[in-house]
Amino acid sequence: MNFGGVALKSAFIRIAAVGTAVVSLSALSSIAQADSLQPQAACHADYTFDIGSYGYIQWMVDPGNCGYPGDSFHVCDDTADGYGVEAYEYETGQIVATGFATTRGHSSPYCSAWSSYNLPELTIVDLKGYAVKGDTIKGPWTHTTNT
């Protein structure tokens, strides 16, 4: 069967090939973006704080370290124990969190995206880390640092 001088079967094959290429490029782009959130071997956080034996919080004071934002943190779950990890950032003495990061919904090993909030220099910050599994919450493990 011909459609406008082109075999219909050939047209479908070309469309399928182009669609597959677009989906493949989109998937590679998503993978590259996800990899950019992971700590790189040559990059080091300013501070790393343990959340018990469940994972850790990485804290970046100033921007520029391998392109990560300053006054930011993320959490990493490096233990396949069924628990995820979460962390909240509070300016010391405040009851409302200024930042949040979680690994909920992801298999270990996994690091969350960076949570960034531009704080005034020398602000004292409490980072509270928790191990989480469904409704079960263990912690907090509290770490105090400054911007």
Straight-line distance from the first to the last Cα atom of the chain, in angstroms, rounded to the nearest whole number: 70
* More reliable by pLDDT, 15 or 7: 7
Query: What average pLDDT does range 143-147 have in this prediction?
Result: 83
Q: Round to whole Å and give the CA distance between 53 and 138.
A: 11
Segment 44-102, tens digit of pLDDT: 678 889 999 999 998 888 766 567 777 888 999 999 999 999 999 888 777 778 889 99
In this prediction, residue 134 carries a pLDDT of 92
